Structure 1
């Protein structure tokens, strides 16, 4: 998943960043109100982890005073990205305010990193209509263990090919544009261009051919993963 982590505590942010990377996610970070608002508007994300107590940060003031205001602004412009609010465990008022502002769930600090991952999967599953277990032809995906299986055998893929196939199965049968794939698989320092994306898709097609699964190109629209008839 492509995740935006909004947290100003550098120690906690680094720990979470390593954990999310280890779980296979692509993560952008923001540590202030101004930075969070800017990055969130620049990029599409699968989920946002949001600390409500944020400094404003350097630069011109945006009129937003807190993480809660950033969330309200996103919802006001029609952004429905799943949001998991991070809040002090004893601050019931913060939890209520976050949920009322449009958050999908909350997690009290301190928290277990495994629970962060589980709650992220849950909020994305609810909003995107995805399931933890997905099957297309002889290809199966287990989102909990992050494993692909083809004809009952593990399908080991390089990181980029894994990410492309993951997006094509989120959910399966959905047409995914090249622009969306590039956006989801890039970060602010490393952009995935069309030529590289087409190379990854070409390699995946060869690896999936024996499983009765095909990545079809819809001209002008993108790619769709289908079971062959």
Structure 2
């Protein structure tokens, strides 16, 4: 569709831009050739109207500008010169299209940035909660093993006290008459064997407690960290 300015410069007879426009007394303008053809069909002689020089110059200027534009690549939507060239599609593009594409890229980048931040926010929250749970389990294990160690030390103290009592009793018997000691020898040996310090059933030894302290949690945390790194998806 022609622009409004082009419509104003069109002859009402041929619907083209004026060629040698002439103006009638009624102020209407026509192409000179269009008017002559129409007059030839009329028997009444007519006085040739004057040339509309201002309109002629305006039409010539318009036609010249239109010819220049037609020699350049124009955008089919905006009727503007294509000033940029897209390397990906190997074709010229209009600047507005370039600006719109650039803005779309910015919007897409901001959207992706928000998604990344949201994912890492969730990941940090999850890791903090997991850290708190692991530390609570470690503290509970520490308390349990401390209590077990305390009970073990108390048992050892009782065994040491019993051995001390046995030693004193044996020393007293050694100071007695030889015959009396020999008569009580079997009972003394049995008493010493029964009072020897040993591990209380159900209680781990101290060396095992020391070596096992936190080992299970550390190994579990290490394996869990590797799992997170291998399965983390943005």
Q: TM exceeds 0.5?
A: no
TM-score norm. by structure 2 comes to 0.14
State the structure with more CA Rg.
2
More strand per residue: 1 or 2?
A: 1
